[in-house]
Amino acid sequence: MTNQETIDFASLQAALTSNDVQLHASELHGVISGLISAGMPFESSEYLTIINDMFNNGEGLPINAKNTVKGMVSQTWQAMLDDQFAFQLLLPDDDESLLERCHALAVWVQGYNLGFGLQQTSKASLSDDVKEVLNDFSEIANLSEDLEEDEDTEQAFYEISEYVRISSLLCFSELGVPPEDKKAQETLH
């Protein structure tokens, strides 16, 4: 990661809310992560059009929110490219209720599937592993909100969120287009 300030769930949600953008920070991060994992080029700014169309009635984001989103996209790219597996899901902190964290995980996965589907339109070209991940994510997106706040549910939440994190990196490793690979491909053609 660079020296820039890390964008966490609370700061992204605050930036969106203070700019009257009605969007859950976890869902936004999921969409961006899905786009990147499915092969969105590093240089692309197409994500801004997608976000504007889907979440902001086709209107441009206010400049503060747009800058925050750009920073979050850069941070997500850096984390996915990191060979130490720095990529983390953008979810509320552990001090939030388990119900809130489970809801955020469900909307993150919904966003991921949406972004992934918008970027990768040919299911036939996907490996069996990626197809399985997408099917699992569809089930996770429907997590029940009728949960017990106990140690077993907390453990299950941790295991599911870790599975989602690692599976997102698996999809990126198969379909993502790292910046240096794209440049190498361009010079070969």
pLDDT digits (tens, 9 = 90+) for 60-73: 888 888 899 999 99
Q: CATH homologous superfamily for 9-188?
A: YgfB uncharacterised protein family PF03695 (1.20.120.740)
Confidence of residue 171 (pLDDT cuts 50, 70, 90): very high
Q: Angle 48-117-17 (CA atoms, 0-180°, nearest 5)?
A: 40
Greatest alpha-carbon pair distance for the chain in Å reads 56
**Phi, psi torsion values for 121, nearest 5 degrees:** -90, -10
31's enclosing H/E stretch is: helix 25-37
Which residue do the tokens 């992560």 mark?
33
3-state class of 99 per DSSP? helix
Confidence of residue 56 (pLDDT cuts 50, 70, 90): confident
Residue pair 101/21 in contact (Cβ under 8 Å)? The answer is: no
Confidence of residue 188 (pLDDT cuts 50, 70, 90): very low
* pLDDT score for 4: 54
Alpha-carbon distance 171 to 134, whole Å? 9
What is the tens place of the pLDDT at every residue in 11-24? 999 989 998 888 89
Domain borders along the chain are: 9-188
Average pLDDT, the chain: 87
Structure tokens at 55: 């979440």
Amino acid identity for residue 114 in this structure:
L
For the whole model, what pTM was predicted?
0.89
Q: How far is CA 37 from CA 9, 113, 117, 187, in A?
A: 20, 10, 10, 23
